[in-house]
Structures are given as structure tokens and as C-alpha cells.
Amino acid sequence: MKQQFLEGKTDTIRLTVYDNNRPQIPTSAKITLKKSDGSILQAQADATVDSSSGEMTYALTATHTANNDLNYIAEWEYVVSAVTYYQKQLFDVVLSILSIPITDDDLYNELESLRKANYQASALATAGAAGSLTDTKRREEDNYWKGGTIEIVAGTGIGQKRDITGFTQSTGVFTITPNWGTTPDTTSVYVVVRSFTKKIQAAFDSLCTMIYNKGKRNELILESTQIATPLIYLTLHTICLDLMDEEGDKWDRLSKLYQEKFDKFFNNMKLEYDEDESGNISEDEQQKSTGEIRIGRA
């Protein structure tokens, strides 16, 4: 999915380049910005490179995003191991940007049986601190549990439940937020539950692409809560599909059910476009269902 920026607002365009599944670390980078017709929006300028992640960034001003349109062009020039490389990136300037409006709890509220099916583990802590819990016997990869929850179910600190902000494999440390009210210790038994964050993100990206493909994305007026229900359905469809063992089992049937729910809801969504940029939705622009819209891209 292309990066999107809000019309008339400052923001940052980003690019990370990978080779053999590893991020490249440029020693320097430059960027040139162009409008969709190829005319210069910003002459070549220095970009910033993160020496750890390799991410290249450039700060967009309100001038760069002054007009909503599709397919602005960012031309990157970067140096890796004394070799200069070039990459072209497209981005859009839009009237509204969507964010993820649901959490794991929304999935559980729709499908309670998913709670028991989710991956979880229980063990005894080997140490605790104000903002963390340690179990040196854990062997999952870094951030495997990030986005999930951890609850003390016995021993010191019983009854406390916190969100997991990170997990480090080498030390077995869960970082949490907010800090514990009572710091856990070696008597604390915890239960950790993995989040469906990645599944939600993947479904969100797919839904955004479907909306984008309806055309005129730059003129679309849509609020994030409007996509909450279809996003729940689409996420549950993909989760149930993963949980399926064989055709016709419970999770297979649920996967098909939520696919049908999603299709019905999405095809009846009403999308509104401010095509004349008046700030108001005229009669011709309002309440078009996704099944009716066939507007070509700008």
C-alpha cells in the first residue's frame, strides 16, 4: 500500500530497502519530489538515514502536501558500500487518512470462542521490576508477545493485568505498560496471551487496498470508525482460516461465515467524495455504495 499524507499537513515520507531479507544501511541518501505529471515539487535534497534500521526519511512540509492527488513521485538516490542506487516511490495526498479502529477485545466480543483458541502460555516469573517481568526460560523470538497481555494469576501481584510493549528473547524480559502497582517476584505466576495485531494489520491493509481500488481515493471522505465492522469480519475470516484443520470443521465454517459477512457489509458501504473540494458533500457526491462506484483514478 502506498504511503498517504493528509492534505496541507506536515509529515514524513519513509523508505527501507531490503536485500536477502535484510535491510540495507545506506551511508547517505537524497530525494527528489515530483507531481504526478512529472513536474518538480521539490528539487533534490538530503534525506536522513537511520544507521541502525537503514530507514531513509524526509520531512514533508505543508507546501509539499498542499494539493490532494494520486501518484506523487519520490525519487530516492542512496549509497550502499560506495555504490549508488536509485529507487522510485509513489505516494498520495488525500483528504482523509484511515487508522486501525479495532483491538483484540473487539474480535473476542464478536467471537468469544476465539479467546481460548488464541496462543497463550503460563509460567513462573524469575524476576520482576516496575515496568517488566522476566522469565529466563522463554525462548520465543523478539517481540513475539508484543501487543498482547500479561496477567499475574498467583503469587505477588495477583490480579494485575498489563499490555505488553516488547519482549526480548535473549533475556526473557516482557516490558509492560503501565507499570505494575505491585512489582512481581519469583512467586508470581503469570499468563501471557499473544495479540492478533499482525492479523488485524494485514486485514486493515487489504481493506484499505480494496477501498483504494474503488478510485478517487484522494477525494474520499471516510472516518476510521466507519470501517470497524468490516475490519472485524475480514480479520476473523483470516484468523479462522489459519485455525482450520480440515474442510468443514468449525473454523472452516466460521471462516466462510465471516467472509460472507464481510462481503455483504463492504458491498453496501456508502462512500462519500468531495470531488469539487468545496468542503461539503453535494447530492451527486454522497452515499455511493462500493458496489456502485466505478470512478476512474485521477
Binned at pLDDT 50, 70 and 90, residue 115 comes out as confident
Report how far apart, in Å, the C-alpha atoms of 76 and of each of 13, 41, 43, 196 are: 11, 14, 12, 34
Q: How confident is the model at residue 150 (pLDDT cuts 50, 70, 90)?
A: very high
Does residue 276 or residue 81 have the better pLDDT? Answer: 81
Residue 294 lies in a domain: no
Residues 6+ apart with CB under 8 A from 270: 286, 287, 288, 289
Let me know if residue 109 belongs to a domain.
Answer: no
Indicate if 87 and 8 belong to the same structural domain. Answer: yes
Residue 273 lies in a domain: yes
Same domain for 201 and 186:
no
Residue 40 pLDDT exceeds 90? yes
Residue 62 lies in a domain: yes
Could you tell me the CA-to-CA distances from 155 to 45, 123, 151, 216, 264 in Å, in that order?
58, 12, 11, 57, 48
How many domains, in total, are found in the chain? 3
Look up the CATH number of the domain holding residue 56. 2.60.40.10
Indicate whether 241 pLDDT > 60. Answer: yes
**Residue 74 · residue 89 · CB < 8 Å:** yes
C-alpha cell belonging to residue 282? 453535494
Q: 59 pLDDT exceeds 90? A: yes
Evaluate whether residue 104 is within a structural domain. Answer: no
Q: Are residues 8 and 79 in the same domain?
A: yes
Whole-number Å distance between alpha carbons of 253 and 231: 19
In tens, the pLDDT along 91-102 reads 999 999 999 999
pLDDT higher than threshold 70 for residue 35: yes
Residue range 116-149, pLDDT digits in tens: 888 899 999 999 999 999 999 999 999 999 989 9
Domain membership of residue 38 as a residue range: 3-94
Q: Are residues 202 and 265 in the same domain?
A: yes
pLDDT digits (tens, 9 = 90+) for 154-213: 999 999 999 999 999 999 999 999 999 999 999 999 999 999 998 999 999 999 999 999
**187 lies in the same domain as 201:** no
Q: Is residue 202 part of a domain?
A: yes
